[in-house]
């Protein structure tokens, strides 16, 4: 049905601020794509350009093989679910869902059939005659989704649809959206969020943006396991990956880096001989670090300066001599370690990450 293809797409505001720089992206029909990134990275702007609410400054946008740069939103075959739901407050649930069909002058019977089908699917049938203000947040969200469904779009666009819900509802609605995708395998969905959990759980592929650039495109696990650069490594995962500045001491299939005068680590990552003695960054996720009894077993040693007990896990903030930032380790369960204690941390070699001085990842 609908591929979405962006070629050299740019967004430049009138005051010469470039908010999106040369975006190239190929979205296949039926994919669930999540745009994720910190606020101000341009992810919402990109979505709004696909929807037609923002002009495209340069480049082309194709939907279903057709260049749609100048086509109004309604004729692009898209539907959008807004962050604030954007329900029409003076219309009933039924009228909200029927609005786009009424504008398109669809016959009354068709409208009724469409609306009832969507309402049934989203368990909204009992609320059809209510005004949005008489609905709970989750129900409003479902109406917004229903409004998108009745249009039978080729592409669904979601703009942070869960950020106005409380934590419990967010999980439930997230699963509903996943189910919705399941029931409509042919429709393409593009979903914007700043929440990495939503991105990880929903996406077929994640597009991670930062400052107007695409940092990495890939499946959730690809991003987690093989971040392309320091930014991706730190953005995906919580607490964020520990990044420690280091120097490459020995290149080859096994690379040895020194973290400080006393400490060095060998990682199973291949480096070229030309990298010898260069500055680099060593990365390790907190959940991949574990406390071991002796210094010989571990790769890092330091003093515990802070402990956070979360119940299901314990976070240790370890001051490693020679490292500016504290190293965070996440152990499951509770620990009997005290503040000020000396600890030794270890990891398995395949969990190690290494980035060059441009913060780009070395290939394994």
Partner 1 sequence: MAQLASALAIMIMGVLGCAAYFYGSNFLLDKLFPTKDRPYEQIARNLRTANMVRPWLFLGPAVLLLTFYLFYPVIDSFRLSFFDRTGDEFVGLSNYVWLFGSDEFFESFRNNMLWLIVVPTAATFFGLIIATMTDRIWWGNIAKSLIFMPMAISFIGASVIWKFIYDFRSGDDAQIGLLNAIVVFFGGEPQNWITIPFWNNFFLMIILVWIQTGFAMVILSAALRGIPDETIEAAVLDGANGLQIFFKIMVPQIWGTIAVVWTTITILVLKVFDIVLAMTNGQWDTQVLANQMFDWMFRGGGDFGRGAVVAIVIMVLVIPIMIWNIKRANAEMEGR
Partner 2 sequence: MVASSKRTPLTFLVHATVLFLVVLWTIPTAGLFISSIRDKDQLSVSGWWTALSTSEQRLVARAYEPKSQVQQGDRFEIRGNLLEGGNGEIARFGFSSLKPEAYAAGDVAEMKKGRTLQVNANGDYVLSSPTEWKGSRGQRIFYTAEIPPRFTLDNYREVLSAEGLGQSFINSLTVTIPATIIPILVAAFAAYALAWMRFPGRALLIAGVVGLLVVPLQMSLIPLLKSYNLIGEFFGVGSKTYVGIWLAHTGFGLPLAIYLLRNYISGLPGEIIESARVDGASDFDIFRKIILPLSFPALASFAIFQFLWVWNDLLIAMVFLGNNQEHLVLTGQLRELLGSRGGNWEILTASAFITIIIPLLVFFSLQRYLVRGLLAGSVK
* Residue 68's binding partner out of partner 1, partner 2, none, with CB under 5 to 8 Å set by partner kind: partner 1
Q: Would you list the DSSP string of 48-113?
A: HHHHTSS---EEEEEETTEE-TTS-GGGTTEEEE-TT----TTS-HHHHHHHHHHHTT--HHHHHH
What 8-state DSSP symbol labels residue 297?
A: T
Q: Does 15 bind partner 2 (CB under 8 A)?
A: no
* Residue 80's binding partner out of partner 1, partner 2, none, with CB under 5 to 8 Å set by partner kind: partner 2
254, 63 contact by CB (below 8 A): no
Least CB distance to partner 1 at residue 102 (A): 14
Q: Does 134 bind partner 2 (CB under 8 A)?
A: no
* Residue 113's binding partner out of partner 1, partner 2, none, with CB under 5 to 8 Å set by partner kind: none
Least CB distance to partner 2 at residue 89 (A): 7
Q: Does 13 bind partner 2 (CB under 8 A)?
A: no
For partner 1, the binding residues (CB under 8 A) are 66-72, 75
322, 252 contact by CB (below 8 A): no
Helix (H) or strand (E) holding 116: helix 108-121
Least CB distance to partner 2 at residue 325 (A): 40
Does the CA dihedral 189-52-231-307 come out positive or negative? negative
CA-CA distance, 100 to 98, in Å (whole number)?
6
Q: Does 82 bind partner 2 (CB under 8 A)?
A: yes
* Residue 78's binding partner out of partner 1, partner 2, none, with CB under 5 to 8 Å set by partner kind: partner 2
Reduce the DSSP state of residue 351 to 3 states and report it: helix
Q: Does 125 bind partner 2 (CB under 8 A)?
A: no
The pattern of x and - marking residues 33 through 72 that bind partner 2 according to CB under 8 A reads ------------------xxx------------------x
Least CB distance to partner 1 at residue 74 (A): 9
Strand partners, 282: 244, 354
The burial class, CB within 10 Å (0-12 / 13-18 / 19+), for 16 is exposed
User: How far from 246 is each of 10, 13, 106, 195, 361, CA to CA, in Å?
Assistant: 36, 40, 65, 30, 14
Helix (H) or strand (E) holding 33: strand 32-36
Least CB distance to partner 1 at residue 187 (A): 21
Least CB distance to partner 1 at residue 230 (A): 37
Query: With CB under 8 A as the contact rule, which of the stretches 31-39, 83-91, 325-333, 348-356 interacts with partner 2?
Result: 83-91
* Residue 82's binding partner out of partner 2, partner 1, none, with CB under 5 to 8 Å set by partner kind: partner 2
Binding positions for partner 2, rule: CB under 8 A: 51-53, 72-75, 78-80, 82-90, 99-100, 103-104, 147, 151
């Amino acid at each position: 049905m609908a591929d979405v293809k962006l070629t050299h797409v740019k967004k430049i505001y009138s005051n010469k601020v470039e908010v999106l720089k040369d975006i190239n992206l190929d979205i296949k029909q039926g994919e669930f794509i999540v745009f994720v990134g910190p606020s101000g990275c341009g992810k919402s702007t990109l979505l709004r350009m696909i929807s037609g609410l923002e002009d495209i400054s340069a480049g082309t946008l194709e939907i279903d093989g057709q260049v749609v740069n100048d086509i109004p939103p309604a004729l692009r075959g898209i539907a959008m679910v807004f962050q604030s739901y954007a329900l029409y407050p003076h219309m009933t649930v039924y009228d909200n869902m029927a609005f786009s069909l009424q504008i398109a002058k669809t016959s009354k019977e068709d409208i009724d059939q469409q609306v009832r089908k969507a309402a049934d699917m989203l368990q909204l049938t009992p609320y059809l005659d209510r005004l949005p203000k008489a609905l709970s947040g989750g129900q409003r969200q479902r109406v917004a989704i229903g409004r998108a469904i009745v249009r039978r779009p080729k592409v669904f666009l979601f703009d942070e649809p869960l950020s106005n819900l409380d934590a419990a509802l967010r999980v439930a609605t997230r699963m509903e959206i996943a189910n919705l995708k399941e029931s409509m395998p042919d429709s393409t969905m593009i979903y914007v969020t700043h929440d990495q959990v939503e991105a990880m759980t929903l996406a077929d592929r994640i597009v991670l943006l930062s400052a107007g650039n695409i940092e990495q495109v890939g499946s959730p696990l690809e991003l987690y396991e093989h971040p392309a650069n320091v930014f991706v490594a730190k953005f995906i995962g919580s607490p964020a990956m520990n990044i420690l500045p280091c120097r490459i001491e020995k290149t080859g299939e096994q690379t040895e880096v020194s973290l400080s005068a006393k400490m060095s680590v060998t990682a199973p990552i291949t480096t070229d001989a030309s990298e010898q003695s260069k500055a680099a960054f060593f990365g390790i996720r907190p959940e991949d670090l574990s406390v071991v009894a002796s210094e010989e077993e571990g790769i890092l040693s330091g003093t515990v300066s802070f402990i956070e007990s979360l119940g299901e896990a314990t976070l240790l903030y370890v001051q490693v001599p020679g490292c500016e930032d504290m190293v965070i380790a996440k152990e499951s369960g509770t620990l009997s370690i005290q503040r000020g204690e000396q600890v030794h941390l270890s990891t398995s070699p395949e969990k190690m990450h290494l980035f060059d001085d441009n913060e780009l990842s070395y290939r394994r």
